[in-house]
Amino acid sequence: MLSSYHWCYRCMNKLRNNSKRCPVCGNIISKEKILNFSLNPGTLLHNRYTVGNVICKTNNTLTYIAIDEQLGSKIAILELFPTEIVKRIDSKAAVKNFNNEKLFEKLKTDFSNLHKSLISLRVLPNILKMFTIFQQNNTIYVVQENPQGISFEKYLSNNYGELSWPNCEKMFLKLIKLMKYLHSNNIVHCNLYPKTLFVEDGILKIIDFSNSLISNSLINSANILTSPKLNDGYSAPEQYDNKKVGTYTDVYSVAAIMYKALTGTKPVNSKSRLANDNLLPPKVLNSNIPKNVSFAIMSALVLSPKLRTQTMKDFYEDLTAPAREDRKRINIQIETPIEQIIPIKKPQPKQTSNHKKPKKTKSRSIVFLSFLISCSIVSFFLVVVIFLLFSDSLFG
């Protein structure tokens, strides 16, 4: 069902008198480009939401800008539409599976469970709020907050491609706390990179969960079968080989984004690093980065999942540890002359052959022996004198 035409489907502002140009965004209505696999702009969903153009496309989802006819507010509508296994029928509204029906049903179940969990977490400040979920056209739709602000990629570009650690710290420590909470609810994102993060009022927000998993084992067979989303420089190596992913996978991606933000350089593709790992520590590229931060990021970018920083909690603690150059023990070693810490014996000048060193020990021994002999002689004479004095009385 199509609603009467009165919206600019690019920005969802109301048009007056069937205007052909939007006075807000300048969109020329007659020249709009519509994707051949998307819903027709103006389609009414759930008898309430009028959809506009597609604003984001991933492997499994389409995101439309939309308007809530009841509240008159702009929103976004997320549609499950895995292009590899479904297509449109009936005037491009209904979705029909044409390849692997079991997989599509599994995807719908996973998609529904994931977004029900996310709806319960909508009070969190660093996540795009999700309001409701419903089924229609043989697929699933999620009503969510319309993204505001700009992508983190654009934010970096506006800041000359690089952020200082104090600015980066304020943004990313909050994001890491959010990821820790999501992981505690068995949600692993698996698609974090500068385009899936938005900056709004200085706060980083996650706007896309299209590649996310929700499972106790943290393995998603559906994503494995439908070409996982990979982002050059930001995806962990286990994602390229369809191996088991987990909290350590998101740790890698967040660390890679921080590497880019602090150095202005995107990390080397993790698949390439397996053959030749020449990734430089962030502090080598930017000397203003604290040593503990550089070390924390490199520990989170270790290629082996088992040796990498395992959780967001560990990553947070590494980033907030006391800076190594500020520790008292190291300050003492740097600032105090080493002679005051470890006394250094000055080398004695070598004796030449013409001047022999006096043998003090031998002369002292001779003096002491002479003293003992003298004492013995005196003692002997004393004994003789005493014997002579008392001999008369003894022998009467």
Q: What is the pTM of this model?
A: 0.73
The amino acid at residue 42 is G
pLDDT averaged over every residue in the chain: 81
CATH superfamily of 150-333: Transferase(Phosphotransferase) domain 1 (1.10.510.10)
* Domain ranges, ordered by start, for the chain: 1-16+27-147, 150-333
The sign of the torsion formed by the CA atoms of 156, 13, 66, 56 equals negative
Q: How far is CA 31 from CA 20, 199, 287, in A?
A: 10, 30, 50
Structure tokens at 247: 């909290």
Exposure of 266 in the CB half-sphere (CA atoms within 13 A)? 13
- In 3D space, the residue among 209, 270, 266 whose CA is nearest the CA of residue 238 turns out to be 270
- Most confident of the ranges 44-48, 186-190, 274-278, 326-330: 44-48
CA distance linking residue 393 with residue 197, whole number of Å: 122
Say if residue 219's pLDDT is above 50. no
Record: fold of 1-16+27-147: Phosphorylase Kinase; domain 1 (3.30.200)
Of 13, 17, 22, give the one whose Cα is nearest residue 65. 13
Q: What is the pLDDT of residues 198-217, one digit of tens each?
A: 998 888 988 888 778 765 44
pLDDT tens digits, residue range 368-396? 777 778 787 878 777 777 777 766 555 55
Of the candidate ranges 80-94, 127-141, 262-276, the one whose mean pLDDT is the lowest:
80-94
More confident residue, 307 or 350: 307
